[in-house]
Amino acid sequence: MWGIEQSEIRAMAQARCNTAYLPEASFPDALQVTTNLDEALASAEDVLIVVPSHAFRETLQRLKSSSLPLKHLAWATKGFETKTGKLPHQIATEVLGPNLQTAVISGPTFAAEVAAGLPSAVSIASTDKENAQRLAEAISTDTFRAYIAEDIIGVEVGGATKNVLAIGAGISDGLGFGANTRSFLVTRGLMEMTRLGLALGARKDTFMGLSGMGDLVLTCTDDQSRNRRFGLGLAKGAAADEVRKAIGQVVEGFYAASAVFSVAQRLRVEMPIVEQIYKVIYEGVSPREAVTTLMRRPLTPE
């Protein structure tokens, strides 16, 4: 099921924790581990999907084929669909229809810190304010705060694009370029993210919030980020597949680099940092050559 081995499911059920990735965080007593979708959804009013972007459509298709009615759907999946360039909300509408109440949850959160009870915050975006408010109240605690928003496109674009830019920050730090360069990449990366979002119909202010600048800063500056670690590995000269294997978890930025670059090309949105990261991963351009290309671009107003 979604690439999870049955042995892993049994181990989680027995140990009452995610033994592979978060062994220090015990499951709540009410949480049950199952591979039976109908069993998992029985009597559920809300469904939250948290799968990698490349598994999102398949998950929705399984939901559609289930025997249970679906009332409210939310997801924390981040990324464009690689083949189509569609955002998660577009895929949800395509698979499940336009009448379902939906929401997207995104923001600067590392799972280990949330599980440890360290103060964290996210955005919940929905076209239905009452739906967003209801979800925010349901998941907020003394250490976890949810803010509501209406800009689903902006929240999704931020969540997808920041993973690519975090690879760039990892490459920069891996090459020893220092804090100045990292700050340059984060700041100009935020501009690229905003340009892409606006071209897709997002609101500019969204990218100054948790799901934009907040998530970008987090993933670009801390080694808990798999995307940043992926960039560090590329800077050492390792091949992309080699670094992904060493990390041992899904590196969303690997897929997002291709998808974001393709969408930007289609919309004629200038994203030079994303373009160079794409070329490092998929065209064999060396990290140093990519940085040189960025620095030699024609001078323009900020």
Torsions phi, psi for 124 (to 5 deg): -120, 115
Q: How buried is residue 149: exposed, middle or buried, by Cβ count under 10 Å (0-12/13-18/19+)? A: buried
CA separation for the pair 32, 13 (Å, rounded): 8
Residue carrying structure tokens 């993210």: 193
What are the strands, taking DSSP E only, across 111-256? Answer: 120-125, 144-149
123 beta partners: 106, 147
Q: How buried is residue 293: exposed, middle or buried, by Cβ count under 10 Å (0-12/13-18/19+)? A: middle
The closest alpha carbon to 200, from 258, 112, 144, 260, belongs to 260
The closest alpha carbon to 108, from 225, 224, 218, belongs to 218
CA separation for the pair 251, 75 (Å, rounded): 18
Contact 132, 125 (CB under 8 A): yes
Q: SS3 breakdown of the chain: % helix, strand, coil, rounded to 5? A: 55, 10, 35
Residue 162 is among the residues annotated as catalytic for this protein? yes
Catalytic, out of 162, 204, 236, 279: 162
Residues annotated as catalytic are: 162
